[in-house]
Structure 1
Amino acid sequence: METRLIIADDHPIVIQGIKDVLSKRKEIHVVATFSDGRLLLQSPMLANADVLLLDLNMPNIDGLQVLDELKRLHLTLKIIVVTSYLSPQLAEQCKDAGAAGYLIKSEDLHQLVKNIDDVLSGKLVFPDFSRSEQRTVNDFSYFDEFLKKYKLTKREVEIIRMVCNDYNSKEIADRLYLSTFTVQTHRRNIVKKLGLDDSRISLYRFAKDNGVI
């Protein structure tokens, strides 16, 4: 029985690498590839696909937004997030949004064919984060240099961490005893200082790359 699969990733090399892995199974047929979240959501091919391999870091509409939208559409396809973000919080958020799996590009692609079989049979495929070493910033000299480099305050770093842990502005305000307006101002200042777009994914990528989380 043929499995119709869509790949959504903004890196052509990754798409080709996934295709190479999937070539081991002739019944898995890649029916479309997308490098843009908006174009993916506009595609009529989603309604007839069996599996979607979804990167989170997509232009125009990121992977988390794609998941939220697909959940509202009540499609039958199984979604496996394929990402470089090793984060239990992000994985849990994807699961809540309807993803059936969460694979780390650097570690788990060799298991991709088995994972596709698993999700098609109704299983969930998520990493065992208890075995993963999470990087933390314990070196204060490094942390001070980091603050100077990006002109961030300790309060702003605290807010970055809370945003990456999926707290909204009101929840952050309540926990830090600030007004929601103050938190929103901090968030605007953060993305402006870092030159990022105002999305959780771009902020998460920055935080992960710099050891903030």
Structure 2
Amino acid sequence: MGSKKIKVVIADDHPIFRSGLVSVFNQQADIEIVGEAANGQEALSLIESSNADVAILDVDMPEMDGIETARQLKDRSSSVAVVFLTMHRDAAILRSMQALNAKGYVLKDSALHDIVDCVRRVSMGKKFIGRGLDELVLDAVGTGSRQMHPQLSRLTKTELQIVRLVGEYKTSKEISQELFVSVKTIETHRYNICLKLGITGPHALLAYAVENQKYLENLAG
């Protein structure tokens, strides 16, 4: 009867939504909330100090978003099971989830129904894709199987280098430091790259870069 509880950290910059999730978890005998954060930086500290089993990360948090937080957790070889939480049905997020070894992807509009089952499943090492995302999974698989690399010929050498670094999960700030230019210059390049490639969405360039990394290693060298 004294089985170990699943320790969970929730990171979301909307306090009302966060408190709603906490209320749901507080009704579960096998789940314990060990920390709440409003951004990724706070989440990293809480995950480390609490030895959490599961981290629920809002993809669109300020300061450090959920994807960057997951990247840092992966770099630190953290054993925490990451769940992405977002309002967006975005195949790019799904591919980032796969690349970063995240375990779950839940939409905010169905989170109150899905999140408990999600936490239980990912705590056992299983994957969880929330309701309303079936078509997205098929789209992500289909997009990933297509050879998109010919489009890279439209980019300049500098743009190719930037896309390669994006595919290594580096932020605009990190890229600017590596290339000795301003963050604004990198953001302008990223905007132009997306126009040339015909891709849209907050995480589309990251997904594209990850998919085409093996070509970028040759072209941007």
Give the alignment partner of residue 122 of structure 2, picking from 95, 119, 124.
119
CA contact (8 A) 1:84 1:106 kept: yes
> Do residues 204 (structure 1) and 202 (structure 2) align?
yes
Query: Any idea what SS the aligned residue of 2:27 has?
Result: coil
* Structure 2 gap segments, 5+ residues each: 137-142, 163-184, 192-200, 204-221
Question: Distance in 2 between the 1:182 and 1:122 partners?
Answer: 38
1:37: Cα distance to partner? Answer: 1.4
Encode CA deviations 1:150-193: one digit per residue, 9 max, x unaligned: xxxxxxxxxxxxxxx99xxxx989535231446876951776xx
Encode CA deviations 1:12-65: one digit per residue, 9 max, x unaligned: 011011112212203311111111212222346456111111111122221111
RMSD over aligned Cα atoms = 3.6
Query: What is the aligned partner in structure 1 of residue 154 from structure 2?
Result: 177
> Do residues 10 (structure 1) and 8 (structure 2) align?
no
CA contact (8 A) 1:47 1:75 kept: no
Moved more, 53-62 or 36-45: 36-45
Task: Trace 1:1-213 onto structure 2 (pairs within 5 A).
Answer: 1-43=4-46, 45-46=48-49, 48-127=51-130, 129-131=133-135, 175=152, 177-181=154-158, 187-188=187-188, 204=202
CA contact (8 A) 1:101 1:119 kept: yes
CA contact (8 A) 2:83 2:104 kept: yes
Query: Any idea what SS the aligned residue of 2:32 has?
Result: strand
Question: Distance in 1 between the 2:127 and 2:72 partners?
Answer: 20
TM-score, normalised via structure 2 length: 0.61
Encode CA deviations 1:79-99: one digit per residue, 9 max, x unaligned: 111111211221121121021
Question: Distance in 2 between the 1:177 and 1:14 partners?
Answer: 43
Seen in structure 2, the aligned counterparts of structure 1 residues 78 and 173 have a Cα distance that, compared at 3 Å, is same
CA contact (8 A) 2:34 2:50 kept: no
Question: Distance in 2 between the 1:190 and 1:50 partners?
Answer: 35
Percent identity (aligned) = 24
Query: What is the aligned partner in structure 2 of residue 210 from structure 1?
Result: none
CA contact (8 A) 1:173 1:180 kept: no
Moved more, 7-16 or 74-83: 74-83
1:204: Cα distance to partner? Answer: 1.3
Seen in structure 2, the aligned counterparts of structure 1 residues 46 and 65 have a Cα distance that, compared at 3 Å, is farther
CA contact (8 A) 1:173 1:179 kept: no
Query: Any idea what SS the aligned residue of 1:204 has?
Result: coil
Runs of 4+ in 1 over 3 A off after TM superposition: 42-47, 127-132, 171-174, 180-187
Q: Number of residue pairs matched?
A: 164
Residue identity opposite 1:188 in structure 2: T
* Structure 1 gap segments, 5+ residues each: 133-164, 192-202, 206-213
Question: Distance in 2 between the 1:182 and 1:88 partners?
Answer: 23
Question: Distance in 1 between the 2:42 and 2:73 partners?
Answer: 13
Seen in structure 2, the aligned counterparts of structure 1 residues 4 and 129 have a Cα distance that, compared at 3 Å, is closer
Question: Distance in 1 between the 2:134 and 2:11 partners?
Answer: 28
Seen in structure 2, the aligned counterparts of structure 1 residues 91 and 30 have a Cα distance that, compared at 3 Å, is same
TM-score, normalised via structure 1 length: 0.63
Residue identity opposite 2:13 in structure 1: D
Question: Distance in 2 between the 1:80 and 1:6 partners?
Answer: 10
